[in-house]
Amino acid sequence: MAANLYVHFPFCRSRCSYCSLYSRVGASPADRFAYVARIASDIAQTLKPSNHQTLSTLYFGGGSPALCDLMPLKYALAPLLDENTEFTVELHPLDVTPAKLDELKSIGVNRISMGVQSLDDDILRAMGRGYTASDATRAFALIKSRFDNAGIDLILGYPGDPTTRNAEALLAG
């Protein structure tokens, strides 16, 4: 029997202006480690490979899972993953480093979803994202150098976005 699992990591570098999800900015490394340990324990207790249960999809989102050391999850997840499991981790562009990407590969991640949100620097500033479109472009190139399966998230309709103004004019016209 296959299952699908989403795990929310509520740790963020800063609070984005558009987000209403639960998040913790500035959590200590000890708090983040305790959270990962709890997730590992819950996964090991809830999803039993002895029941022939595997994961079809596993998605770590947030927040920014990359602010945590995810290695403690490796052994809890290993029995639940097989060659058909799509294991995705959402990344903030500022968290994309060769070391983080290598860590993710080593725990079985085979897909990256990067939260770019916009390719307009003014909109990124208004969102409080902390990077530029060129930073996101460089981060995605690094991801693609290590992962065949990767994508980006974009927000359409953010106030002030030229695309939104064009859409509003079209709708009003």
pTM over 0.85: yes
| Count of domains observed in the chain | 1
- pLDDT score, position 170: 47
pLDDT at 135: 95
| Whether pLDDT at 144 is above 50 | yes
Alpha-carbon distance of 128 to 115, in angstroms, equals 13
Sequence-separated (6 or more) residues with CB below 8 Å from residue 7 = 39, 58, 59, 60, 61, 65
As a whole number, mean pLDDT of residues 102-118 equals: 94
- pLDDT of 167 > 70? The answer is no
Q: What is the pLDDT of residue 52?
A: 60
| Mean pLDDT confidence for 74-78 | 87
Q: What is the pLDDT of residue 171?
A: 46
Identify the pLDDT of residue 26.
80
Over range 4-32, report the average pLDDT: 85
CATH code for the domain in which residue 126 is found: 3.20.20.70
Q: d(Cα 41, Cα 35) in Å, to the nearest integer?
A: 10
Which range marks the domain in which residue 34 is found?
Answer: 2-172
Residues with Cβ within 8 Å of 38's Cβ and at least 6 positions away in sequence, in order, are: none
What are 77-106's pLDDT values in tens digits? 888 888 899 999 999 999 999 999 999 999
Rounded to an integer, what distance in angstroms lies between the CA atom of residue 26 and that of residue 12? 7
